[in-house]
Structure 1
Amino acid sequence: MKKVYYIAALSLAFSLLSQGVCHADNPVVQTMYTTDPAPMVYNGTCYLYTGHDEDKSTWYTMNDWRCYSSTDMVNWTDHGSPLSYKTFSWAKGDAWAGQCIPRNGKFYYYVPVTQKSGGMAIGVAVSNSPTGPFVDALGHPLAFTGTGDIDPTVFIDDNGQAYLYWGNPNLFYVKLNQDMISYSGNIVQVPLTTSGFGARTGKSDKRLTLYEEGPWFYKRNGMYYMVYAAGGIPEYISYSTSKSPTGPWTYRGVIMPSQGGSFTNHPGVIDFKGHSYFFYHNGALPGGGGFTRSVCIEEFKYNPDGTFPTINMTKTGVSGTGNLNPYVRNEAETICWESNVKTESCSEGGMDVCNITNNSWIKVKGVNFGSGATSFDARVASVNAGGNIELHLDSPTGTLIGTCPVKNTGGWQSWVTNSCKVNKVSGIHDLYLKFTGSSNSYLFNVDYWQFSGGNATPTNPTNPTTLNNGWYRIKNVHAEKYLQVADNIGRATQNVEIDSSSGTDGQKWYLNNIGNGLITLKSALGNFMLDVCGGANDDGTKVEIYNAYGHTPQQFSLKPSSSGNSYVITTMCSNGTKALDDANYATNDGSNVCEWSCTGGDNQSWVFEPTNN
């Protein structure tokens, strides 16, 4: 992220070069301007952390960071803002490029902000959930040199040693301690040699090498990669490699040429579900430019020797890694592409889609209707006359399979569930939710939607076991710790984990038999149920609590395990093929619980201990 000095006229010139947008899949987010991508793979999900350029910015006006997630790389769920510069009491602004990483059952977000005392510094925030909220871990900066302390990148090596790199115009690093919020030794300045980072020519800022800013540090097949914005305005992306995490480095060339009309760039690189992805930003959205940027993704393949091919920016984006299941709850803010909608915080937890006007629409890519859907539900709210949700296949004007009416509900956050029949549809299609109405103002808000029929009814669990309705504490056999809501906070999307016995409400669950061998588990913290995030059927899916509505993501069955008087808790969004899992056989307090393919092991075995509420 370029934050230093250049000619204002040049900035304006590049801001006029933004690309037009067709109905492709780049940029990834269209509801706002996003920048400085930092992807993180965790438990079968790609989390995308970004900066946020404010609308109509004429400078780097950035007040918070945003978080999105996807299990298929094309449909992205908006989780809102997990962190703001205001989270840091010692900061006064500038939520610039950062990176998040998991460790010790927690998530550490390294970000630069401007200190109230002056100068940029690196802070660190921590959360029990990848989607936040994050809190300041220290109450003061983690690292400060007084010279361009921006753009941190973090990596944990195979031996457990973590490294934090950052900087513009210099490149610094420290060795982080196991706690991830302190470091050992001194801050080290990397020698920026021309052999390590390329020779700069024809520039007036007197830097000797191509290194500019925005480093992205990782390891692959025994090789360490440093990918970074290079060359000055307009920036391109180059990279260097090393056999050691601290160098010496060898310059390898340009990955992405100067393109896209944003005059800065920032890389992020991951491997996910057998594919390699390159993240970057440009000015491709309407109104886009150097201060209103947008995150994009390209798929690529490494050369046989591990070097990068040339990667050019496209509007096409990437192909999906799977199909979306319409027979579970799907958040309205899970979007591949949209036209004229926004997102906001929802009173029922998470986010909702708002600012809907006549002929606004949302595209959801690769929806697998299986043998055929017959009905549609949507959670909606409106102050005005409402309108309709038209369900189209493969384009906003494609085959109309159903129309769901929406009326005034008494408030923009007064939610009701509306239903409609649909013409039976099967197979895989792009789904367009097209919003229509006669009002000249906003029509209604949408929280989530779900189809029924076809594959809607899960396969009944094999030989389900029934326990009496009532309150239980649920103990993991392997860890000998209890299923609990993180931090004992009753809030939609709050993470579920294991912890030592405490007797708090966060460790109490009401088991309710709902028929056909299925149960729900309601938290004692309020009207929240144990929930598989997004109703996903993927190993590593987050387990959380969510507003109690009792649909498939909140339905489970019990199967006797081989570990004595204990049970495997299988998920119905997987048709009973996956179970609640003590991730990685962890035993630490606060260790994560996720959905994972059934093994019947001790880490998937749970003892139900009756208790009082």
Structure 2
Amino acid sequence: MRNQFTKARWLLTYAVVIALSFVGCAKKATTSALQSDSLKSSRDKHTDAIDQMSGNPVLPVATADPDIIYANGKYYIYTTATGPNTSQFHAYSSTDLLNWTDEGIVLDLANVSWAHTDGWAPSVCARNGNYYFYFTAAKKIGVAVSTSPTGPFVDKGSALATGDGTDPIDPMAFIDTDGQAYLYWGNTTINIQQLNTDMISLTGTRGHNQPSNYFEAPYILKRNSTYYLMYSINDYRNDDYHVEYATSSNPMGPWTNKGRITSPINNIKGPGHNAVLRKPGCSDEYFFVYHRRTSTNVDERQVAIDRLFFDSAGNIMPINITTSGVTQSPGTTPCYIPNPIPDGQYAIRSKINTTTGAGLYLDIAGCATGNADVRTWTRTTCDGQKWNLTYLNNGFYKIISELPNHKSLDLDACTIDRGANIQVWDVFPNDCQQWRIETLGDGWYRIMAKAGNNVMDIINGDPTPGVDVRSWTWNGADPQFWKFEAP
């Protein structure tokens, strides 16, 4: 363990406490909390976005088991039902991932003839000009149809499937690139079966190929020619409820386990039951939506969004759990370019200038060769302003000082909270020292820490040379714009 490098003045002036005050509902219990006034602010907008980032959790109510789609210029999240007997499914919409609106009840089990309770874990997909809403009710799988992503969805009139195994829950519908649709569902026993083109009936032989450790909440993503099956491990009440994944060349398996994607961090427990959305218009950029909890009440869960990345070998990289979430992303936002800066040596200049117009550069205080603070300073010939960039083939860079001991640009303690000090430290292969560089146009970039997903920022935009550099939520202001120049 390395020591934290902190400053008392910085801590006193800039420490930020992000309160995670939302509570969540139980998927497998009909508690009084689920039947309370948790929806009294129905259709109110979520207001806890931080600057131009979503913040986590993202939804205005306590809920769990999210699915996400993009349609008609909006993102839609669907979750486990709330209300009496866990019977009322809602949709939540956003144009930019920051501000979420409760669209109201899209399916009420009171209107379903074959089951009226325990509405869990929906999955929604679009086809044939319709939206198909797959859901669990009374431990059976149902499907309802609407011409709108906000419903109302009309149940087909009978259960679609019961499935094999003792707990046939958590449906997920997937349409392959050849047009064939599949349904995945089941706790402890996975069920995989083809859907007919009408999307409301099953066909073919039901399969049960499942990877090691499989427990529940299957989710399928196809990338290139590989099928990625994500699924949750442990009981949802376990602090280490988490997501693992397996791969196959066939949508029905067999599957090869590849390891875990999520892990608890600090007071954030049980990050699991996920869905994935490819960013609209982008070929290889993904959002990872899941639930988690910060309460000791295991039935209080929150929906969150973070980024998902693949390494150069096509493996899913572990998700960096954050409190800041993702940056504002309307459907028209440019796609992320994984490695926009060629490997090489650069001086890193801020968009902020001194009051006399001199440029400010990323600088190691006093050209120190040991572990030290990073600050701004006017241009010098010191190697403390020369930075060697190396792309790691995973969406992130290593940024190493040219000073003799070649320290790495480092986020203090790998903290996920905004306000952490940025420094140089001994080189480690951890998330504290990996940085994403994203194009902002006109030669400017933001530099984002892999841990926490916050950006490199000059404190208060102060133009005085010597001001500390920290991590902060993205706000689009000049103190967060950087340019890579010849050293």
TM range (shorter): 0.5 to 0.7
| Structure 2 CA distance for aligned equivalents of residues 108 and 41 of structure 1 | 14
Look up the SS of the partner of 1:240 in the other structure: strand
The answer to whether 1:237 aligns with 2:240 is no
- Pick closer, same or farther for the CA change 1:26–1:85 going to 2, 3 Å: farther
Could you tell me which residue of structure 2 aligns to residue 155 of structure 1? 174
How far has the Cα of 1:84 moved from its partner?
Answer: 2.2
- Quick one: structure 1 residues 22 and 65, their matched pair in 2 at CA, closer, same or farther if it must change by over 3 Å? closer
- The aligned counterpart of 1:270 is 277
Alpha-carbon distance in structure 2 between the residues aligned to 1:71 and 1:3: 27
Distance in 1, Cα, partners of 2:56 & 2:106: 21
2:144 to 108, 122, 125: 125
The question of 1:320 aligning with 2:320 is answered no
- How far residue 43 of structure 1 moved from its aligned partner, in angstroms, is 4.0
1: CA distance, partners of 2:317 / 2:271 = 21
Match of 1:438 in 2: none
1:230 is aligned with what amino acid? I
2:100 aligned to which of 76, 81, 90: 76
Q: State the distance in 2 between where 1:323 and 1:175 align.
A: 31
Check the 8 A contact 1:288/1:294 in 2, yes or no. Answer: no
Percent of aligned positions with the same letter in both sequences? 36
- 2:127 is aligned with what amino acid? R
**Aligned pairs (5 A) from 1:395-414:** none
Correspondence for 1:42 = 71
Task: Look up the match of 1:225.
Answer: 228
Report the AA paired with residue 288 of structure 2: F
Partner of 1:214: 217
CA contact (8 A) 1:282 1:294 kept: yes
Aligned to 1:66: 90
Q: How far off its partner does 1:262 sit?
A: 5.2
Where does 1:92-103 land on structure 2 (aligned, <5 Å)? 92-103=116-127
Of 276, 279, 283, the match for 2:289: 279
Q: How does 1:104-183 map to 2 (within 5 A)?
A: 104-114=128-138, 120-145=139-164, 147-183=166-202
Trace 1:448-463 onto structure 2 (pairs within 5 A).
none
Contact 1:213 1:230 in 2 (8 A): yes
Counterpart Cα distance in 1 of 2:120 and 2:110:
13
User: Which segments of 5 or more consecutive residues in structure 2 lack a partner in the other structure?
Assistant: 1-24, 30-46, 333-474, 478-487
Match of 1:86 among 88, 92, 110: 110
Structure 1 stretches lacking a partner, 5+ long = 6-20, 56-60, 115-119, 198-208, 325-427, 431-613
SS at structure 1 position matched to 2:91: strand
Corresponding residue SS for 1:316: coil
Q: Secondary structure at the match of 2:326?
A: coil
Q: Is the 8 A contact 2:59 2:100 kept in 1?
A: no
TM-score (norm 2): 0.53
Structure-1 separation of matches of 2:175 and 2:250:
13
Q: Give the Cα separation in 1 of the matches to 2:28 and 2:119.
A: 15
Q: 3-state SS of the aligned residue for 1:245?
A: coil
Query: 1:262 touches 1:293 (CA, 8 Å); kept in 2?
Result: no
In 2, Cα distance between equivalents of 1:2 and 1:217: 24
Does residue 303 in structure 1 map to residue 311 in structure 2?
yes
CA change 1:323–1:112 in 2 (3 A) is closer
Output one character per residue of 1:161-197: Cα deviation in whole Å (capped at 9) or x when no partner: 100000011001110000001111233222x3xxxx3
Change (3 A) 1:301 1:264: closer
User: Does the CA-based 8 Å contact 2:49-2:58 persist in structure 1?
Assistant: no
Instruction: Verify the 8 A CA contact 1:22 1:315 in the aligned structure 2.
Output: no
Q: Distance in 1 between matches of 2:298 and 2:108?
A: 22
How far apart in 1 are the matches of 2:150 and 2:49?
28
Q: Distance in 1 between matches of 2:169 and 2:264?
A: 21
In structure 1, C-alpha distance between the alignment counterparts of 2:147 and 2:49, rounded to whole Å:
37
Deviations for 1:411-449, whole angstroms, at most 9, x for unmatched residues?
A: xxxxxxxxxxxxxxxxx999xxxxxxxxxxxxxxxxxxx
User: In 2, distance between residues paired with 1:320 and 1:288?
Assistant: 31
Whether the 8 Å CA contact 1:83–1:132 is kept in 2: the answer is: yes
CA offset at residue 22 of structure 1?
Answer: 8.2
Cα separation, 2, equivalents of 1:288 and 1:38: 24
**C-alpha distance 298-264 of structure 1, shift in aligned 2 (>3 A):** closer
Structure 2 vs 1, CA of residues 304 and 186 (structure 1 numbering), >3 Å: closer, same or farther? same
From the two aligned structures, give the one with the greater strand fraction. 1
Q: How does 1:381-400 map to 2 (within 5 A)?
A: none
Give how far 1:54 is off.
5.9
Report the Cα distance in structure 2 between the residues aligned to 1:39 and 1:225, rounded to whole angstroms.
17
The question of whether the paired residues in 1 share the 8 Å contact of 2:220 and 2:227 is answered with yes
Q: C-alpha distance in 2, partners of 1:293/1:171? A: 24
Aligned pair count reads 284
Structure 2 contact 26–299 (Cα < 8 Å) conserved: no
Distance 1:43 1:258, change over 3 A: same
Normalising by structure 1, report the TM-score: 0.43
Is 1:186 the counterpart of 2:205 in the alignment?
yes
How far apart in 2 are the matches of 1:321 and 1:261? 25
Code of the residue aligned with 2:277 in structure 1: it is I
1:289 Cα shift? 3.8
Give the counterpart letter for 2:273 in structure 1.
H
The superposition leaves residues 492-511 of structure 1 with CA deviations (integer Å, 9 ceiling, x where unpaired) of xxxxxxxxxxxxxxxxxxxx
Aligned residue identity for 2:94: S
* Residue 4 to residue 170, structure 1, CA distance change in 2 (3 Å): farther
Does the 8 A contact of 2:207 with 2:252 survive in 1? no
Q: How far apart are the structure 2 equivalents of 1:224 and 1:242? A: 5
Alignment-derived partner of residue 449 in structure 2: none
CA–CA separation in structure 1 for the residues paired with 2:93 and 2:250: 32
Amino acid in the other structure paired with 2:60: T
